[in-house]
Amino acid sequence: MFRILIALSLGGAGSIRAADQSDHFSDNGYGKTVSNMQHPAAEHFNGVTYVAYQGPHEDPYVAAYTHATGTWAGPVRAGVNPLGLSPDQVDPGALDNHGRPALVVDAQGHIHLIFGGHGGSPLCGENKFGTPGSGRQIHVVTQKPGDISSWEVLDNVSPFGTYGQWVKLANNDIYLFYRHGAHRSDWVYQKSTDHARSFAPTVSVLKHKVSEAGPAIHDSWYAWFENGRGDTITASYVYHPCLDPAHNAHRQNTYFMLMDTRDASWTNVQGQKVSMPVTKESADRHTLILATGTEKSNHGTCHIDREGHPHLFFRFPGGTVRYFRWDGKAWQKPTTVEDANGFGHDGDFIIDSPLKVRMLLSQAANGTGSVGWWNTTDGGRTWARGESLFSLPGHTFETSALVRNGPPEARMLVGGIKDQQSHLYHNMYLIGDHGAIGRPTAETNHLGDRLEAIKAMPPSNAKAEAKRRKKAGLGD
């Protein structure tokens, strides 16, 4: 196994008057800092919440909050993202953002990240499950349990990856799900039974191929994988009719299926076996929840209640979030979670009981960004806006998935975006039931003089760069 050692130093933590506390823990989030697609971005383990996000140069940064002492360590850079062009771009179109890190803590306490890939460049070799893209999927791990100060690269997963997603089972097996290449590629997983020190060969789950609708369309997917109940793993996904050779942004339909990890078999919501890998035709026949037609749908998250029934949300145009639930006999009619003053954009949710669900969403309304609860007590037929956990005027927020095993004071990792700012750096927040976990202001500055250097850069040409990226097929 090939290993590269990376030595890094920690930022200190101190005790300062509450008046000198900031609500963010770092100022060096960069671009689209987090997403619930690359997940989890944070995990609580042995009294510490570890968080990972995209920082300067699109590199992965990790910080750690110790709950008993109320102190932060880091952030530290855990690796180098090959997608990063320069540390201080001011043009959002110049950032790739697909190499954001996902984090998992193994049973021995080592922290693992997966990051850096937008499908893997042709320099990585032959992609047997799709088309190459850019960057390289990289796996790093801490040299010592619980210590984020030093990291090493483990060359034990495919370089052809993007949208890395960790699933850890109760028996400590770890699954890594990802899209094996650029847009026209399979979704796959690799399994580890030794704390992610080695992985079994790649297994295809969702099949890409030329569409039966015609040679100019390629069947592709966007998927989200997560723990189910017991030894199961859920898959919720949408269909992407990708134009070939040019990429397009349309996505449609909503789907669900379930894996039994004891024998690696997959079933639909009715318990019927589904052959692997799933094609567009078999997905429509066996795992379809809702056919959306020309209306665009996008991934959300999925969880299973104590009766074994899935609850999901997907995102739709206008920033709306629609909730789906299997009631044991049929898919309940989806409902939109919103209010008259703004829309739910993205987030995650907690199932308290089959009928009681709390959805934690970012909101943007009346010039103020917030992250707060939406609640249902009737299985999603009606929703009521609950408590706002954190808000700032003149901001919007990007949200991670829920912190894995997170305590109430650490629910979600959030990147704040200030309106009309002239750079791409953002404050990072760890949000819980009592708001954002603060940090002494003197410890939150990790940009140094970067913002002064940015002022000397030429103005951006975002439209030209976005056009270039679209032509090159470097979209989502």
Q: What is the CATH number of the domain that holds 374?
A: 2.120.10
Q: Which residues of 326-352 are buried (b: 16+ CB within 10 A; e: fewer)?
A: beeeebbebbebbeeebbbbbbbbebe
Dihedral sign (CA 291, 34, 187, 106):
negative
Query: Cα–Cα–Cα angle for 313, 314, 317, nearest 5°?
Result: 140
Residue 237 appears among annotated catalytic residues = no
Strand order in the sheet with 174-179: 162-168, 174-179, 187-192, 203-206
**Could you tell me the pTM of the whole model?**
0.93
Is there a contact between 258 and 233 (Cβ–Cβ < 8 Å)? yes
- Contact in structure between 113 and 103 (CB atoms under 8 Å): yes
CB 140 within 8 A of CB 52: no
pLDDT category at 119 given cuts 50, 70, 90 is: very high
Structure token pair of residue 368? 């103020």
**Phi, then psi, of 93 in degrees rounded to 5:** -70, -15
Tokens representing 206 are 């969702």
| Catalytic pick among 24, 98, 118, 423 | 98
Q: Can you tell me the mean pLDDT for 17-43?
A: 92
Residue tagged 């700032």 (tokens)? 392
Q: Is the pLDDT of residue 232 over 50?
A: yes
Determine, yes or no, domain membership for 196.
yes
Which residue out of 65, 163, 178, 222 is catalytically annotated? 163
Find residue 62's DSSP bridge partners.
Answer: 52, 76
Domain residues for 133? 3-471
Report how many domains make up the chain: 1
Q: Considering the domain boundaries, does residue 93 fall inside one?
A: yes
- Asked if residue 412 is part of any domain, the answer here is yes
215 belongs to a structural domain: yes
Whether a cis peptide bond, with omega within 30° of 0, leads into 393 is: no
CA angle 404, 290, 232 (to 5 degrees): 35
Distance CA 357, CA 306 (A): 12
Mean pLDDT, residues 61-72 taken together: 98
Bridge partner list, 24: none
In this structure, is residue 46 part of a structural domain? Answer: yes
Q: What is the mean pLDDT of residues 135-139?
A: 97
Distance of alpha carbon 165 from alpha carbon 220, whole angstroms: 18
Q: Decide if 61 is catalytic.
A: no
> Percent of the chain, pLDDT > 70?
90
Is 239 domain-assigned?
yes
- 81-95, 173-187, 198-212, 291-305: least confidently modelled range: 81-95
As a whole number of angstroms, the longest Cα–Cα distance in the chain is 66
For the ranges 40-44, 241-245, 462-466, which has the lowest average pLDDT? 462-466
Residue 91's pLDDT is what?
82
What are the tokens at 373? Answer: 């609860």
Whether residue 361 contacts residue 346, with contact meaning beta carbons closer than 8 Å, is answered with yes
Residue 38: the pLDDT is 98
161 touches 179 (CB < 8 A): yes
Q: What share of the chain is helix, strand, coil (3-state, %, to 5)?
A: 10, 50, 45
Q: Does residue 199 lie within any of the structural domains? A: yes
**Tokens at residue 236, please?**
């919720």
CA angle in degrees (0–180, nearest 5) for 264-265-269:
135
Question: What pLDDT is recorded for position 463?
Answer: 53
Q: Kindly state whether residue 476 falls inside one of the protein's structural domains.
A: no
Closest CA to 402 of 383, 427, 430: 430
Which DSSP helix (H) or strand (E) runs through 391?
Answer: strand 384-393
